[in-house]
Amino acid sequence: MIEKYDLHCHSTASDGVLSPTTLVQRAHEQGVTVLALTDHDTTAGYEEAEIAASKANITLLAGIELSASWQGKTFHIVGLGINPDYAPLHDATRHLQVIRLERAEQIAAKLEKKRIPGALDAVMKSAGDSMITRTHFADFLVSQNHVSSQQEAFDRYLAKGKPAYVATVWAELDLAVNWITQSGGIAVLAHPLRYKLTANWMKRVLTAFTQAGGQGIEVVTGRCNADEIKLAAKYANDFELTGSVGSDFHSPANPWVELGRLAPLPANIKPVWELFGQKALSI
Ligand code: AMP
Ligand code: MN
Ligand code: MN
Ligand code: MN
């Protein structure tokens, strides 16, 4: 059987629009056979997703997208095939939830200074028990007609350098990689080109990442062109990393990104799923 992989997506446990169940059903409808649920800093959606996955006969990997800091910059580390019950990983998610709440308070205070009150109450309500993300703030700004799209919310308020941006210290990069690998998972550097780093910085972070035990890099993401795939593939080859594929799906409203709609991995890249069978060995 030819598998169709999507190893990066979000549910309502973080900033995705679909519940874990609906997300899994949609993945199945799109022909995905192996899915990893990778919510920001939480595995809370996994249990529900697993029930839907066994009904739909789709292979589900427990995953996460950890927010990590290295040299004052933020990186996202996807964990694939993790054990959500591994205590240090679970503790880390709780700590990151506190960091996210504190950041939310600071973002809301900055918005208030821009005469936009009520953000904290609104995002706490919309996030509920889930991780509060900047996406929740973007949706709030859209709902209050301060901006007309999520993108505009980031461009005018939430992105780095904008008035409501708050610099945040996330988990240390090597700790994030360790929680993933120690729980039996594979650590993958998410969307490497989105950090907008120079080749030199890229080299430095990939050195730190591989030294910490990182084994993969996303070579194919939901919105990338042939040149971007080529560049990410070069990083994979230069650092002897396996290649991952993941849409980073958040919402059906985004016509550019769909579950499972991904270019194939270049033939010269070792797929990350070739490591899945060896997972037990690394525990
Ligand atoms: P956070 O981890 O809370 O800082 O939020 C990061 C999330 O915000 C990302 O995973 C994206 O889903 C979303 N995001 C970041 N930048 C943008 C952008 N320019 N436009 C839309 N969404 C964005
Ligand atoms: Mn997101
Ligand atoms: Mn990300
Ligand atoms: Mn993501």
Secondary structure of residue 160 in the 3-state scheme: coil
Q: Is the pLDDT assigned to residue 182 strictly greater than 80?
A: yes
Residue nearest to atom 13 of ligand 1 (CA): 135
What is the full DSSP assignment across 253-280? T-TT--TT--PPPPTTS-BGGGGGGGHH
pLDDT number for residue 136: 98
Q: What is the best residue among 67, 134, 170 to mutate for testing ligand 1's pocket, by most ligand atoms within 8 Å of CB? A: 134
Q: CA dist 238 to 1, 76, 209, Å?
A: 31, 20, 13
Q: Does ligand 1 lie within 6 Å of residue 154's CB atom?
A: yes
**Mean pLDDT, all residues of the chain:** 96
Confidence band of 195 (pLDDT split at 50, 70, 90): very high
- Please tell me the residue having the least CA distance from ligand 1 atom 4: 134
Stretch 255-265: mean pLDDT: 97
What integer pLDDT is reported at residue 144 of this predicted model? 98
Q: What is the DSSP letter of 241?
A: P
- How remote is the CA of residue 1 from the centroid of ligand 1, in Å? 35
Determine the pLDDT at residue 278.
64
Residue type, 271: P
Statement: the pTM of the whole predicted model exceeds 0.85: yes
The pLDDT of residue 1 is 78
**High-pLDDT (> 70) share of the chain, %:** 98
Q: Please state, in angstroms and rounded to a whole number, the distance separating the CA atoms of residues 119 and 6.
A: 33
Measured from the CB, is residue 134 less than 6 Å from ligand 1? yes
Closest ligand to Cα 190:
3
Separation of alpha carbons 236 and 280, rounded Å: 23
Instruction: Judge contact between 9 and 38, C-beta under 8 A.
Output: yes
Is pLDDT at 134 greater than 60 in this prediction? yes
Q: How many whole angstroms separate alpha carbon 124 and alpha carbon 54? A: 32
What pLDDT is recorded for position 277? 74
For strands 5-6 and 34-37, give the pairing: parallel
pLDDT digits (tens, 9 = 90+) for 80-96: 999 999 999 999 999 99
Q: Separation of 266 CA from ligand 3 center, angstroms?
A: 22
* Residue pointed to by tokens 């990983």: 89
- Please report how many Cα atoms fall inside a 13 Å half-sphere around the Cα of residue 236, on the Cβ side: 28
Q: What are the pLDDT digits (tens) for 20-58?
A: 999 999 999 999 999 999 999 999 999 999 999 999 999
